[in-house]
């Protein structure tokens, strides 16, 4: 299980207080709430990218000790963000971006996300947001993560690409029993995608 317990986190001030959330293997948990309620902040804490002020994160019974990109436990968690263009080096071909974690499994992973060979030799500015997000999904799955955190992964995408990527993630879950945390503004998408949804409340007025 990926569990956050009593998470209080933010920047100068906390933006979420005492949030608890569990993602079980094989399960998809939705995370909803109005803009500014702290969904991305909770996602970054559970992805071990942001240290909370208080509370604990456990992965499969082990308490997390390091919150940063290189933390050893991070390789068990794959992350996808809203804007694929901010997460891929613009100088890299898609093939190289996927190869960074995937080594010689690029073709297999590209097949999984339905990226054809000619697209793999293009750079980010030569492909659509949807094609680039497919590459980001291939890269996120390269290390066989036990958990996948999707932060507004489909916001930039059309309905058919959204359905295709959700389908790839479901198939990965069926094969590996991975747990998924899906953050979205789109309650209709979460109703279809998630087994259960946690809703954060609106931030207090300033
Ligand atoms: N890096 C940062 N530094 C300072 N404040 C930040 C930072 N990132 C987010 N915030 C602030 O924290 C609050 C919660 O932001 P967060 O992105 O977690 O919410 P959200 O629910 O994901 O919002 P949205 O749906 O608009 O993406 C907001 O007031 C935001 O301005």
Instruction: Look at 206 and 95; give whichever has higher pLDDT.
Output: 95
What number is the average pLDDT over the span 37-47? 95
What atom of ligand 1 comes closest to residue 37's alpha carbon?
Answer: 21
pTM of the model: 0.93
Q: Whose CA is nearest to atom 6 of ligand 1?
A: 11
What atom of ligand 1 comes closest to residue 151's alpha carbon?
Answer: 22
What number is the average pLDDT over the span 30-49? 94
Distance 120 CA to ligand 1 centre (A): 33
Q: Whose CA is nearest to atom 28 of ligand 1?
A: 36
Q: pLDDT tens digits, residue range 3-12?
A: 999 999 999 9
Distance 110 CA to ligand 1 centre (A): 32
pLDDT at 128 over 90: yes
pLDDT band at 104 (very low <50, low <70, confident <90, very high): confident
Handedness of CA 62, 180, 198, 195 (dihedral sign): negative
- pLDDT of res. 187: 87
Q: What percent of the chain has pLDDT over 90?
A: 81
Q: What percent of the chain has pLDDT over 70?
A: 97
Superfamily of domain 2-196: P-loop containing nucleotide triphosphate hydrolases (3.40.50.300)
Of 58, 82, 198, which is closest to residue 130 (Cα–Cα)? 82
What number is the average pLDDT over the span 99-111? 90
Q: pLDDT tens digits, residue range 66-80?
A: 887 666 788 899 999
Domain boundaries, the chain: 2-196
Distance 166 CA to ligand 1 centre (A): 25
- pLDDT of res. 74: 82
Q: pLDDT tens digits, residue range 165-199?
A: 999 999 999 999 999 999 998 888 999 999 999 99
pLDDT at 133 over 80: yes
Instruction: Look at 67 and 204; give whichever has higher pLDDT.
Output: 67
Q: Whose CA is nearest to atom 13 of ligand 1?
A: 36
């Amino acid at each position: 299980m990926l569990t956050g317990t009593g998470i209080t986190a933010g920047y100068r001030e906390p933006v979420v207080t005492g949030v608890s959330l569990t993602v079980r293997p094989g399960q998809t948990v939705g995370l909803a709430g109005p803009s500014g309620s702290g969904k991305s902040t909770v996602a970054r804490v559970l992805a071990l990218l942001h240290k909370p002020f208080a509370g604990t994160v456990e992965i499969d019974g082990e308490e997390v000790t390091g919150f940063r990109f290189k933390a050893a436990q991070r390789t068990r968690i794959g992350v996808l963000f809203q804007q694929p263009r901010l997460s891929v080096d613009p100088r890299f071909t898609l093939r190289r971006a996927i190869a960074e974690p995937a080594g010689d499994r690029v073709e297999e992973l590209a097949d999984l996300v339905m990226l054809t060979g000619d697209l793999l030799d293009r750079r980010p500015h030569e492909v659509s947001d949807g094609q680039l997000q497919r590459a980001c999904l291939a890269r996120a799955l390269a290390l066989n993560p036990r958990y996948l955190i999707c932060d507004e992964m489909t916001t930039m995408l059309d309905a058919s690409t959204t359905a295709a990527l959700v389908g790839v993630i479901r198939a990965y879950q069926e094969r590996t029993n991975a747990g998924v945390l899906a953050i979205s503004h789109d309650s209709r998408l979460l109703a279809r995608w998630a087994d259960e949804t946690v809703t954060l409340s609106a931030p207090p007025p300033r």
